[in-house]
Structure 1
């Protein structure tokens, strides 16, 4: 896959990002990071750039971990539900046979 060079702005500075993802995706990621950095800078104006970058990284990692945990729980629930559906379908196939109506 070809590498894409994309210039993004984070915290008022421009960075050239190289990657195999589309330029649109790289911009979306950079916008997310910039949004978090801006929010944290407003809430913590006394932090220096390194502290701000670290806090931004920790907040994004926190979001990632929570989302990852939610996804894992949803996958487990889906598997449990699929097994229950299979069990019910098997049970319905053996115990709920219909008999034809008697004609009068």
Structure 2
């Protein structure tokens, strides 16, 4: 089993120690993403006047929105890949069929 990695990260001006089996670079990257999401929300008019629990919920909702949009995009890309793979298969089949006809007519 892999060793657990720990790294200090800064989110909203506070230092947290994150631990996980992912490498430290990954842990830093996700912390940076959360931090930038919070910074973006702080630029929204009225956000800083909200109670801290509302700010946290809005941050969580925005992160969940990003997650679901990414899942939707991934599903669309997977469907496109599947369609393109079928198209390639059909084109290969057509090519083989045409090669066989050509060879039959030129023997």
TM-score, length-scaled by structure 2? 0.84
- Could you list the runs of 5+ residues in structure 2 that have no partner in the other structure? none
1:25: Cα distance to partner? 1.0
Residues 21-40 of structure 1: pairs in structure 2 closer than 5 A: 21-40=22-41
Alignment partner of 1:98 is 2:102: yes
1:87: Cα distance to partner? 1.3
- Name the Cα RMSD after superposition: 1.7
- Counterpart of 2:63 in structure 1 is 60
Aligned length: 101
C-alpha distance in structure 2 between counterparts of 1:49 and 1:24, whole Å:
29
Alignment partner of 1:78 is 2:59: no
Aligned-partner SS, 2:50 = coil
C-alpha distance in structure 2 between counterparts of 1:48 and 1:2, whole Å:
39
Q: Runs in 1 of length 4+ with deviation above 4 angstroms?
A: none
| Contact 1:7-1:14 at 8 Å conserved across structures | yes
